[in-house]
Structure 1
């Protein structure tokens, strides 16, 4: 069956040179307190447009209001494309549930479409068109061969149908290589003052308990090219660090954390360690010393400096008496999950 995906575009910029547009759609069934269909548009991981099936209206954010003012029909087009995409997602979810022999329950169908463009060379860099079902890959478009790839057996039928539809494949390529890039350039032009800004973060040292790793947390920086790492005597560490991913904040800035395993660090050596934050385009680094007095902990009332001092004395006592000591530490953490959806600003029909 021919499947026409109507996309909705807002643009995304990923660095001062390479700009990228990402479009996310999510359809779902029986998810409590969540719309049946959501569309989200991002620029540089900053949300600039939103649509959901509850309100049935598109809401521009940030500089997209300037775009809407100059192109009044854009908002109506964006809303209409989401309405049509919602109907497609409802039908697709029913097809997928039958394909997997499922009846009711919570299920999600997602799609991400986008492109990348170099604003220095003016070159098309990359494009992507991916589908997922219940958190697993469903279909991926290989732009080198312009063919669909099916990661699962259940997707083979859909893959074959789409690969046989040459007109639809051509439409996908036209959208990703032409329409997407043209829109991306327009949005970058309108959002230049926001996208090219530089914002330094606030940096904090966090620790769940005296036996946990110390986390250096930087939040509120922009763009998303922040490096965060620990050093000892000015030398970057590798073996003791656990580098976290760069994650978006709700205001369009970013955050990142890096943990330091202090289980083998002697209390008297803590002053040799520093957390360093570096931001692309900014010469001066933000340096935070590993100081027990500034560490924020989940255990109010515990004086971290006092704990370190007592541990040091006990350690010396144990060394003197037995000559042997073993410290064990457990690092428990989690990785937040991000679900976004976007839209585009010119009719196109990638599958």
Structure 2
């Protein structure tokens, strides 16, 4: 995740989204201490933001999460056993690293989280490939790989020691460069081909207007769309609005589709001017926009239905729990399009790197 690529916001008269796509393969490693009711170690593999593999310290097994991954198993029946052994090794390495970082930051008890994200993006139209390798500690950037300079960026003083150590490891840097320019793109193309019918599908959402009370903003809500490359905005007389507008993030649904909202503060708008406003939804690969006019007659509200607000609140609460779990896997929203390698020896499906210790 953004797990997730956003298109450039454009006006209603702007160009439509094209069918070309930037595909991504990412692996998220999360080690935690002091977090109740959450596995101490989790690995999640994603292709185009769809979970394809999962491992955690409770099950101690790597499991495929998509039916089309069974084709890989047919080719190599022992694959998941080897993946499991690699993940067990990674779990032990992360356990050591989290203690090392706690000492580095002069911390002992409390909640601590170490995360690494790695992977690559591939533009299926231009062929451009971009690799990522990010490390985080307690929700902050710790180390970032710069492939152009073949060096590490240390955003925090506590990371300088590791940066210096890894910068000197030319063999490891050569492994990284080979992985992000050759191995990762090859696997990504293979996975996209295997899961094409699912990953390349297009699903049109239902779009509706919601409002909690007469004084609340009107929320334009789209749910059930796929892929996650979509934009939604409010416009007036064909021009995109920026004032009095609050854009929400694209969020996952339980069925693999996505949802998003954009709010419009209508408190200062005369009712007779409402018909000038439109909510516009654009989905990558779809020529026709979905447009809904601001009309009090179509707004869904809890007025006249006291249960509606409760239902909406329950859905939001459930989503919050889901995103909280994902939040452990994605330590910063702005890094959601980037990824990192495993601690000791990462997944065979993605990377075999023997990463140095912190």
- Alignment TM class, shorter chain as reference: 0.7 to 0.9
Whole-angstrom CA distance in 2 between matches of 1:144 and 1:51: 32
State the 1:28 CA deviation.
0.2
Residue of structure 1 equivalent to 2:145: 141
Question: For 1:9-34, what per-residue CA distance to the aligned partner results, in whole angstroms no more than 9, with x for missing partners?
Answer: xxx99684322211100000011100
1:60 pairs with 47, 54, 64, which one?
Answer: 64
Q: Which runs of 5+ in 1 are unaligned?
A: 1-11, 303-333
Q: Alpha-carbon deviation of 1:78? A: 2.0
1:95 aligns with 2:97: no
Name the larger-Rg structure: 1
Alignment correspondent of 1:244: 248
Deviations 1:148-206 (A, max 9, x none): 11111111111111111111111111221121111111111101111211100111212
- Match for residue 284 of structure 1? 288
The residue number in structure 2 matching 1:206 is: 210
Aligned to 1:305: none
- Superposed, which structure 2 residues align to 1:1-351 within 5 Å? 16-62=20-66, 63-123=68-128, 125-298=129-302, 301=305, 338-339=326-327, 340=329, 345=349, 347-349=351-353, 351=355
Shift in Å, 1:133? 0.3
1:291-333 CA deviation, whole Å, 9 max, x = no partner? 223323355547xxxxxxxxxxxxxxxxxxxxxxxxxxxxxxx
TM-score (normalizing by structure 2): 0.80
RMSD: 2.4
Deviations 1:102-132 (A, max 9, x none): 1111100000001122223434x21110000
**Would you say the 8 A contact 2:47–2:188 is kept in 1?**
no
Native 8 Å contact 1:172 1:350 kept in 2: no
Secondary structure of the residue aligned to 2:144 is: strand
After the TM superposition, which segments of 4 or more aligned residues of structure 1 sit over 4 Å from their partners? 12-15, 298-302, 334-337, 341-344
Find the residue that maps to 2:23 and give its secondary structure.
Answer: strand
Classify the secondary structure of the residue corresponding to 1:224.
coil
**How far apart are the structure 1 equivalents of 2:160 and 2:21?**
38
- Is the Cα contact below 8 Å between 1:37 and 1:52 reproduced in 2? yes
Kindly tell me: are residues 348 and 151 of structure 1, through their superposed partners in 2, closer, same or farther at Cα, counting changes over 3 Å? same
Aligned length: 309
Structure 1 length-normalised TM:
0.81
Matched residue SS, 1:271: helix
Unaligned runs of 5+ in 2: 6-18, 307-318, 331-338, 340-346
Deviation of the 1:346 alpha carbon: 5.0
Q: CA deviation at 1:36?
A: 0.4
Check whether the contact 1:138–1:155 (CA below 8 A) recurs between aligned residues: yes
Distance apart, 1:344 and its partner CA: 5.2
Residue 49 of structure 1 aligns to a residue whose secondary structure is strand
